[in-house]
Amino acid sequence: MKDTIEIHRGYIPGAIGRVVELHGTYYHPYWHFGAFFEAKVAGELAEFIGRYDPQRDGFWIATVNGRVEGSITIDGIHAAHEGAHLRWFILSDALRGQGVGTRLLDAAVAFCRHNSYSRIYLWTFAGLHAARHLYEKAGFTLVDQHRGAQWGVEVTEQRFELPLV
């Protein structure tokens, strides 16, 4: 039986926990992000879903045979002044290299264009080469870089932006 990859827009049961799990299980072994990071993702994602407005915000989930294996979010609460915030972009090993990341990123950018947002920004850190490749392929550019520990471990934090107007 062939695996069925689907992209869903909006919350589906189990999505919050699984997106948090994907972050924790990916970033811990490779980057040594621990409980602080996982709790931060859990708290901020739960807060976002609690105020989710489908007209302003985007939340896309990639599933394989019904199991959550990836996500991307557009937090539009401050889009008018700061730009739309791209957050929680993650894929499990089961989906990496199959074009699903591009599909999720394209959906997020199209949503922002449809909403006439002036720009999209995201925070990441140096060393995530596959993600950076996707961002740059979509037109994002690096606009700021500095040492910081917003995720609980000191890394070279990077801000990417994509102007839309």
pLDDT of the residue at 61: 97
Task: Determine the average pLDDT of the residues in 50-73.
Answer: 96
CA distance 50 to 44: 10
135 within domain boundaries: no
What's the whole-number average pLDDT of the chain?
A: 95
Structural domains in the chain (count): 1
Name the token pair of 47.
Answer: 């807060």
Task: Determine the average pLDDT of the residues in 132-143.
Answer: 97
- Burial zone of 7 (CB within 10 Å; 0-12 exposed, 13-18 middle, 19+ buried): middle
pTM value?
A: 0.94
Task: Determine the average pLDDT of the residues in 3-29.
Answer: 95
Q: Using CA atoms in the order 77, 41, 132, 85, what is the torsion angle rounded to 10 degrees?
A: 0
The pLDDT confidence band at residue 94, using thresholds 50, 70 and 90, is confident
pLDDT of the residue at 3: 79
85 within domain boundaries: yes
163 within domain boundaries: no
58 within domain boundaries: yes
Task: Determine the average pLDDT of the residues in 22-44.
Answer: 95
106 within domain boundaries: yes
95 within domain boundaries: yes
Backbone angles phi, psi at 47, to 5 degrees: -60, -45
The pLDDT confidence band at residue 90, using thresholds 50, 70 and 90, is very high
Question: In angstroms, what CA-CA distances link 43 with 9, 13, 38, 69, 108?
Answer: 21, 17, 9, 20, 22
For the chain, give the DSSP string. Answer: ----EEEEES--TTHHHHHHHHHHHHHHHHH---HHHHHHHHHHHHHHHHT--TTT-EEEEEEETTEEEEEEEEE-TTTTTT-EEEEEEEE-TTTTTTTHHHHHHHHHHHHHHHTT-SEEEEEEETT-HHHHHHHHHTT-EEEEEEEE-TTSS-EEEEEEEEE--
Amino acid at 154: E
The pLDDT confidence band at residue 30, using thresholds 50, 70 and 90, is confident
Range of 91's domain? 5-118
Task: Determine the average pLDDT of the residues in 106-122.
Answer: 97
Of 1-15, 69-83, 138-152, which gets the smallest average pLDDT?
Answer: 1-15
Percent of the chain at pLDDT exceeding 70: 99
The pLDDT confidence band at residue 1, using thresholds 50, 70 and 90, is low
Name the token pair of 99.
Answer: 């074009």
CATH code of the domain covering residue 39: 3.40.630.30
